[in-house]
A and B are shown apart, each in its own frame.
Chain A
Amino acid sequence: MTTPISPSGTLQTSTVDLGARFPSVVSADSRAGYKGWMIPKENLVEVATAIRAEFGFDLLSSLTAVDYFPENKMEVVYHAYKTTGGPGLVFRVQVPRDDPIEVPSLMDVWPGVDFQEREAWDLMGIKFIGHPDLRRILMWEGYEGHPLRKDWKEPFYEEETKPFKSRWPDGKFFLAEEKNPFHDNLKFPQNFDPEKWIPEGEALLYGSLARYTLKNEEGLNTDQIVINLGPQHPSTHGVFRAAITLEGETIVGLKPVVGYLHRNHDKIGERNTFLLNMPFTDRLDYFNSMANNFGYAIAVEKLMNIPVAERADYIRVIMAELTRVQNHLVFIGNLLNDLGAMYTPALYAFEERELILDIFEAVSGARMMCNYFRFGGVVRDVPDDVMQKIKDLVFERLPAKTDEMDRFLTENEVLVSRLQGVHVLDGETAVKYSVTGPVLRAAGVPYDIRRADPYSIYDRFEFDVAMRTNGDLYDNYLIRLDEIFQSLRILQQALKQIPQGPINSQKPQYQVRVPAGEAYGRIESPKGELGFYVVSNGKPNPWRYHVRAPSFVNITPLEQMCLGTKIADFVALFGVLDVVMGELDR
């Protein structure tokens, strides 16, 4: 079942005038290249409540912080959107950059800020007053310092920004590991001794899960147990740990533990020049490198204010939709893997994925780490024989094979009884927790950025926003099939309409000039809203580069999803969120 949504809502411009509503409190951001509203921290909760309740911005997409080190200011930036579509609202809080940096938490307004506030605390050291569980999330407890601050330096630190001077013209080759790893730029807590270190984070984690009910309803003495699912578990799709409190078989408490794959992608991005970030985005959600490229290219193009060549726009859409098709096919295969149908559906899905990856390899040179997009277009044109291959797949093979997948699984009684009626999320909770993507649409909220706030050339295609209303596991499975068919529809139109022409509006250049300012580029990645927040100060490197990863934000309501269900269903509930650790941990 799909609901067509008229795109008319997106044409209206933002008419929100916060300044009129809060005259002496809120001011418009006057810096060049910046938009949005500046809110004093004392009034933040009040204004945020009005933004949500009065102006209807029910989805807080992104929360992130920027360290304006030279101005000695720390800024928290919020991007709020309406699930009914339309442009977003940016508002920000600036506080002096002297510890303790304190900003009120918006947990009571949008509970979806939970993990994002924890991330900002972890990496930037901003204390969110009123956050109930402000622990580090990506780094380990006991870690000294906040790595995204501009005065923090990583081990193996060589220079502030790339390119490093030692490479040319008189390159002095050295192995990275030869450099002393305990150089003075590696900070440990005072008197740190790994032998004697007691991980206080673990105590905090288990403390937050502890419940002391010793008698159940029948008066029987019972005990709850805490188990750790992961970090090494075949069904957590990578290194993910869930500390779960169990009452018998029922989940009564759950805390996700992430960050095992953390590599501080944001910091790497700030060291890189704008172009150099492109191949790094491939490594976020390695199933959808084309989609990641897309999001980053859009963000930087917004900042540079350059057009995209028309043919390149079509190629981008074709690649992004092929990515979505293969992602959803693999999702279905992996979900069945999680449910115990070992390998057969997964390998059927992988066959089609291989054929799509062959196309990616032919155009970009790599199967997964495509690095195909450039600012203003794409790297190279799609050759005619590859275009024919895409047409063969899109018009003949993929529809037939998706149908086959549908025949193979959808009516299978075992699958239906396992999935139907296991509740994931209802629409209201999903919006509250900033969940986006298929999970949100399966819960009855037809929010798809391709329609709600069209980017690139998505307004030229006819397609329906797939939606299901029950919000159970079975709907989450079906919606992926729906979306594959809708993607194929877009692909078929794009392949018919694609014009000839140049594939880049800019000259190929290895260093782009990006004017000062900020931009938030977001796309509908197969997993949800993928946003890139980029701040430039006119230099070759981004001042701030932040990835709003759908996988990371979508696990925020994991506890709410799992409370009261059986432990055996956890794997499936976690599976439908379709998270990829490369993106979650960044």
Chain B
Amino acid sequence: MYGKGILKGLSVTWKRFWDTYIEDISWLLRGKKRYFTEEGIRHRSSKDTKGIFTIQYPEERLILPEEARYVPFLVYDEGSEGKKDVRCTSCGICAKVCPPQCIWIVRSNDPQTGRPIPEPTEFYIDADICMNCGFCAEYCPFDAIKMDHDFELASYGRSVYNMEKLLKPAAYYAGIRPQNYAREEEARKAKEAAKAAKAAGAVAPATS
């Protein structure tokens, strides 16, 4: 029959059209909210999603996976009296491995001893040039630079981030990437324990 194919196709769109309402009603009957809740958003981006698929940004937001990466930030540990212990040692690996070369690090020397200070004096990231590749975070040996989850970067001018803008506490990092943070802390503790054991081992024979 001529027109059968069209009718077959229309049945697909017809079903898709009603799916939204059927889903809505079934969520309503179960007493759950399909919109503006985390559960609803998760369901809409799962394999069982049916009917309406869109997320009403900015009222609703997609739940970012842990590995999501946007412009990097620098991690600092909170020391005593609110002192910021910047993890960065200005080793320069991030600047070397940056594909668009958007990281600038200024290292300075201690005026008294003349030896280089590990902590960078200035740290710039040209966020407009950054391609969010994540190499800097991947190859940083000190877990000092990490990729952010903040993707709302619109601005009226050029976005060149300096240290002040880049520094974020380790607690923030732990908040956006709990699994990575836990894994790194564990590795760090193991390393420190090994170091302590080695030091104790090295000291012990001398004293005995």
Give A residues with C-beta under 8 Å from B. 162-164, 166-173, 175-176, 272, 275-280, 344, 348, 351, 354-355, 358, 361-366, 369, 371, 379-380, 389, 392-393, 396-397, 404, 407-416, 508, 510-511
- With A171-B124, A393-B47, A508-B139 known to touch, is A408 a contact of B9 (CB < 8 Å)? yes
- With A171-B106, A171-B122 known to touch, is A369 a contact of B65 (CB < 8 Å)? no
Contact call B134/A365, Cβ cutoff below 8 A: yes
- With A275-B97, A364-B67, A365-B134 known to touch, is A344 a contact of B13 (CB < 8 Å)? yes
Q: Is B181 an interface residue (CB 8 A)?
A: no
Of A162, A365, A415, A510, which is within 8 A of B139 by CB?
A: A510
Q: Is B95 an interface residue (CB 8 A)?
A: yes
Contact call A365/B147, Cβ cutoff below 8 A: yes
Contact call B67/A361, Cβ cutoff below 8 A: yes
Interface size classification for chain B: 35 or more
- A426 CA to B106 CA, complexed, in Å: 62
CB distance from A382 to the nearest CB of B (A): 11
- A393 CA to B126 CA, complexed, in Å: 38
Q: Which chain B residues border A414 with CB–CB below 8 Å? A: 6
30 cross-chain CB contacts under 8 A: A163-B95, A167-B105, A168-B92, A169-B92, A169-B107, A171-B103, A171-B106, A173-B104, A173-B122, A176-B126, A276-B97, A276-B99, A279-B135, A280-B99, A362-B65, A362-B66, A366-B68, A366-B134, A369-B133, A397-B47, A404-B12, A407-B12, A408-B8, A408-B9, A411-B9, A412-B8, A414-B6, A416-B5, A508-B139, A510-B135
Q: Which chain B residues border A361 with CB–CB below 8 Å? A: 64-65, 67-68
Chain B: CB-nearest residue to A166: B104
Contact call B131/A369, Cβ cutoff below 8 A: yes
Q: Which chain B residues border A369 with CB–CB below 8 Å? A: 131-133
CB distance from B56 to the nearest CB of A (A): 15
Chain B: CB-nearest residue to A363: B67
Q: What per-residue 1/0 map shows which CB atoms of B1-34 lie under 8 Å from chain A?
A: 0111110110111001000000000000000000
- A168 CA to B92 CA, complexed, in Å: 6
Q: A175-B126, A361-B68, A409-B9 are in contact. List 12 more A-B contacts (CB 8 A).
A: A162-B101, A163-B96, A169-B116, A171-B124, A175-B158, A279-B131, A364-B67, A366-B132, A393-B47, A412-B5, A413-B3, A508-B139
- A355 CA to B55 CA, complexed, in Å: 13
Q: Which chain B residues border A162 with CB–CB below 8 Å? A: 99, 101
Of A168, A363, A371, A396, which is within 8 A of B133 by CB?
A: A371
Q: Which chain A residues border B147 with CB–CB below 8 Å? A: 365
Of A272, A351, A379, which is within 8 A of B138 by CB?
A: A379
- A398 CA to B158 CA, complexed, in Å: 42
Q: Which chain A residues border B131 with CB–CB below 8 Å? A: 279, 369
Contact call A508/B138, Cβ cutoff below 8 A: yes
- A113 CA to B129 CA, complexed, in Å: 36
CB distance from B134 to the nearest CB of A (A): 6
CB distance from B51 to the nearest CB of A (A): 10
- A366 CA to B49 CA, complexed, in Å: 22
Q: Which chain B residues border A169 with CB–CB below 8 Å? A: 90, 92, 105-107, 116
Q: Which chain A residues border B16 with CB–CB below 8 Å? A: 348
